[in-house]
Amino acid sequence: MTDPTPDTPAAPGPRRRRDPLGRAPLLLTVPAALGLLILVVPLVTMVAATDPASLVAALGRDVVREALWLSILTSTAAMVICLVVGLPLAWVLARVGFPGRRLVRSLVIVPMVLPPVVAGVALRTAFGRSGLLGEPLLGLTGFAFPYTTWGVVLAHVFVALPFVVISTEGALRAAGPGYDDAAATLGASRWLTFRRVTVPLALPGIAAALVLGWARSLGEFGATITFNGNYPGLTQTMPTLIYVERQSDADAVLALSLVMLLVSVGVLLALRDRWLVTA
């Protein structure tokens, strides 16, 4: 009974476990394989087409390093802001019953389905130099968002926040209001309950939401270039750099794209067992 060796002889049977319901139908397995190929083939060909030497060379260029650094910096800053405003927004949606909650949730989702270029245009009308909020801001402080690194962060927040809020809300709901009740009967204020019970229980989900938001933000192109243009060192992120280089240097584009792929896969691998994969 207490023998720790796990290699006890397996029950006799076929080496490959057979599905008792029979073979999966070809009408499903063939399209499934096709779908997988569409996703995988371009990535494989891209890796195959890239000259490793050009990858090293690309990373040695200042403009690339700047763009990569700016991408990581702005995406991370955007996630800090998404956490500060998105977690409370998700909590309100998950825990506070108020009339119009469904409407608010719909408003949160709209930027998610909006074409990013349109998001850039919308940001201009609000935060542009002559925008509704941008103009008084410029008058008061002399600061304007467009064509600045802060403008990039703002565009990232606008595009990624819906993802963060909606997945965080799911995590908060899964964390169970029953525990909030228990904390309240023990005398905890709602703020204390939020800090010591709700957030710790939802932490894996919150972290997953931020990682997804970060990845979304890292790849953001449309809103960023529409709102901020493409100034190296200031507003030029990796996707906008790739777009510019695409017109001149095909080798560099491949190398830059591979860098993005590696960063994305790296994030996925770092989290694969923890939060992202459920089965």
CB of 211 to another protein, least distance (A): 20
One-letter amino acid of 127: F
Closer residue to another protein in complex, CB, 161/197: 197
Is residue 207 near another protein by the rule CB under 8 A?
Answer: no
CB of 200 to another protein, least distance (A): 5
Helical residues (DSSP H) of 175-198, grouped into ranges: 177-185, 190-193
- Closest to 90 measured CA to CA, from 193, 181, 201, 172: 172
Closer residue to another protein in complex, CB, 35/177: 177
- CB within 8 A of 7, min separation 6: which ones? none
According to DSSP, residue 275 is labeled I
Closer residue to another protein in complex, CB, 200/266: 200
Neighbours of 266 (CB within 10 A): 10
- Closest to 169 measured CA to CA, from 79, 94, 95: 94
Number of residues that bind another protein (CB under 8 A): 17
Task: Looking at residues 168 to 187 of the shown chain, list those that interact with another protein (rule: CB under 8 A).
Answer: 178-179, 181-187
CB of 101 to another protein, least distance (A): 18
Closer residue to another protein in complex, CB, 112/184: 184
| Choice from 35, 42, 115, 200 touching another protein (CB under 8 A) | 200
Rounded CA separation 50/142 (Å): 45
CB of 186 to another protein, least distance (A): 4
Helix, strand, coil % in the chain, rounded to nearest 5: 75, 0, 25
Is residue 247 near another protein by the rule CB under 8 A?
Answer: no
Alpha carbon distances (Å) from 273 to 84, 91, 278, 279: 26, 26, 8, 10
Rounded CA separation 205/276 (Å): 9
Task: Looking at residues 97 to 116 of the shown chain, list those that interact with another protein (rule: CB under 8 A).
Answer: none
Closer residue to another protein in complex, CB, 14/187: 187
Is residue 206 near another protein by the rule CB under 8 A?
Answer: no
| Choice from 73, 192, 261, 271 touching another protein (CB under 8 A) | 192
Applying CB under 8 A, the span of 24-32, 126-134, 153-161, 196-204 interacting with another protein comes to: 196-204
Task: Looking at residues 45 to 74 of the shown chain, list those that interact with another protein (rule: CB under 8 A).
Answer: none
- Given CA atoms 138, 140, 141, 145 in this order, what sign does their dihedral have? negative
Closer residue to another protein in complex, CB, 53/203: 203
Q: Phi and psi dihedrals of 68, rounded to 5?
A: -65, -45
Is residue 250 near another protein by the rule CB under 8 A?
Answer: no
The CA-based dihedral angle spanning residues 218, 221, 224, 225, taken in that order and rounded to the nearest 10 degrees: 140
CB of 278 to another protein, least distance (A): 18
Closer residue to another protein in complex, CB, 19/191: 191
Binding interface with another protein (CB under 8 A): 178-179, 181-190, 192, 196-197, 200-201
